[in-house]
Copies of this chain bind each other. A is one copy, B any other.
Amino acid sequence: MTGRVFGIGVGPGDPELITVKAARLLDACSVVAYPATEDGASMARSIAAPYVAANKIELPINIPIATGRFPDAAIYAAAADRIGAHLHDSHDVAVLCEGDPFFYGSFMYLYGLLAESGHVVEVVPGVSSLMACAAMLGHPLAAKNEVMTVVPAPLPTDALRQRLSSTDAAAIIKLGRHFARVRDVLDELGLAERARYIQHATMQEQKSLPLRAVEPDKVPYFSMILTHRQGVAGQ
């Protein structure tokens, strides 16, 4: 009998936005793995803190910032091996994922490796930052027969322009150092006034700003712009 793996979405930031299922599985699993920076900080671990008992075996997966955007295959292979060893010892393993595991998450790399090795991997969906940002703004993401597009900010400027001009609503994710470029494209398309910038939604330090009030060099990776043809800014 080998153990099972659960890829657990811990939600956008507020620990209360974890699901009842995630809380139950965190209690039941003896091993808890999570992505962390080189110095050990982990957003996923910190969101799940109220649900991780002191007697768990903890497996931080340290990912250097420099390679954060382009996952280092060797790091995930080593992590899969460490998780695999616990599974062979019949431990169930919870892998914590910010937001939802399968919405632009790095869990997919581990998922692939573990599933290929024949392990049973179940994904527990979580509340995505997409829905958290809309709730915080008090404005729907999309309604009726509107088309909604999720656009990663690192795309080339032409691609950004093309995507943002041809949709009813958009969520522009992974902003970081791309903020100013995205803002300029929205300006050009006449969408900037109606858009809204959100960072750390549902966390204590959450903030929502009109684009002109954002300092471009202070925009974190975990931030988002929501736009809508009819505007979200006035809400």
Residues of A near any B CB (own CB < 8 A): 9, 11-12, 14-21, 23-24, 100-105, 108, 111, 115, 121-128, 130-132, 134-135, 138-152, 154-155, 159, 163, 167, 174, 202
Q: Chain B's nearest CB lies how many Å from the CB of A225?
A: 15
Query: What residues on B are CB-neighbors of A148 within 8 Å?
Result: 149-150
A9 to B134, CA, bound (A): 12
Q: Chain B's nearest CB lies how many Å from the CB of A123?
A: 4
- Which of A104, A134, A140 has the most B CB atoms < 10 Å from its CB? A140
Name A11's closest neighbour in chain B (CB-CB).
Answer: B19
Q: Once the chains bind, are A100 and B17 in contact (CB under 8 Å)?
A: no
Q: Is the interface of A mostly helix, strand, loop or mixed?
A: mixed
User: A17-B21, A163-B147 are contacts. A103–B131 as well, Cβ < 8 Å?
Assistant: yes
Instruction: Find A21's partner among B16, B115, B144, B149 (CB 8 Å cutoff).
Output: B16
Q: Once the chains bind, are B17 and A18 in contact (CB under 8 Å)?
A: no
A173 to B202, CA, bound (A): 27
Name A134's closest neighbour in chain B (CB-CB).
Answer: B102
Query: What residues on B are CB-neighbors of A122 within 8 Å?
Result: 135
Q: Once the chains bind, are A142 and B138 in contact (CB under 8 Å)?
A: no
Q: Once the chains bind, are B141 and A102 in contact (CB under 8 Å)?
A: yes
A122 to B14, CA, bound (A): 15
User: A124-B135, A142-B104, A151-B147 are contacts. A19–B21 as well, Cβ < 8 Å?
Assistant: no
Please give 10 more A-B residue pairs, beta carbons under 8 A apart, in addition to A100-B131, A102-B139, A147-B163: A16-B24, A17-B125, A19-B20, A102-B141, A103-B130, A103-B140, A104-B144, A105-B143, A125-B134, A147-B151
Name A150's closest neighbour in chain B (CB-CB).
Answer: B148
Instruction: Find A127's partner among B125, B140, B141, B150 (CB 8 Å cutoff).
Output: B125
A135 to B105, CA, bound (A): 12
A1 to B67, CA, bound (A): 53
Query: What residues on B are CB-neighbors of A20 within 8 Å?
Result: 15-20, 23
Name A156's closest neighbour in chain B (CB-CB).
Answer: B145
Query: What residues on B are CB-neighbors of A104 within 8 Å?
Result: 140-144
